[in-house]
Amino acid sequence: MPVTPRQLSTWKSQGRKITALTAWDWSIAEILDEAGVDVILVGDSLAMVTLGYANTLPVTLEQMIHHASAVRRGVRQALTICDLPFMSYQESTTQALHNAGRVLKETGVQGVKLEGGSPHIVEVVARLTDIGIPVMGHVGLTPQSVHRLGWKQQGTSDADAITILDQAKQLAEAGAFAVILEHIPSTLADQLTQTLAIPTIGIGAGNRCDGQVLVTADVLGLSQHAPPFAKAYADLRGTIQKAVSAYATDVSNGDFPPGKS
């Protein structure tokens, strides 16, 4: 059966860990789904992984819809969530409703993710969930705020930890079905996991969260500059380079395609 937001809550209550990875096209999504990943996130990290930008800010709503549509066509079981990109939901609640609705209608994903926990964002989450759009929250290091926060760990001071804890609680109360905790101390992530009724999905937040998410390009060893909390389970960058080099050598030497014997 396809994974649903309610299923994630059940797994949290059962102590069953949740696996999540990002995808940016049909082929990667199909592989992740067949491998049994629970949640596939069409993250705005595709701005860096796929489109070559320095951060996530330039990616547009149209680009996210384009990639999310391709990803969704490759998924049969996993819960598929799409990021709302920078400035597609911050302007007003009306803007957020319109754009989130477009994402669901035009891509077929089952929910959206947005960053932050300000009063405006909490209001957006409440309105989206009220009309039936599942929302995943995201607190801690929020990449769309890179110019204000940088890439450093968040929640390291008592005051910042209290802010993140309060934001996550408000997102849950507003109806978010899960929340990503990015690059925060493991002690804070543990406290959030124990406090919140909704699942926590960690990325650089220790191993006490209800689940984990990473950027798939980092997992596969495709990234040149993966964050320190990521783990490469393969070196596909090196494998691809070797394969392409061997192909180029064969063509240069006249060994490919092979001639008649």
Report CA-CA distances (Å) from 77 to 71, 73, 80, 125.
12, 11, 9, 25
Q: Which is nearest to 38 in space by CA: 13, 56, 70, 12?
A: 12
How many whole angstroms separate alpha carbon 211 and alpha carbon 193?
10
Amino acid letter, 154: Q
The answer to whether 62 is a known catalytic residue is no
CB burial readout 175-195, b (16+ within 10 A) else e: bbbbbbbbbbbeebbbbbbee
Tokens of 7: 């299923």
What CA dihedral angle connects 216, 113, 208 and 39, to 10 degrees? -50
How many whole angstroms separate alpha carbon 118 and alpha carbon 121?
5
Q: Which of 30, 62, 91, 182 is catalytic?
A: 182
How many whole angstroms separate alpha carbon 194 and alpha carbon 181?
13
Residues with a known catalytic role: 182
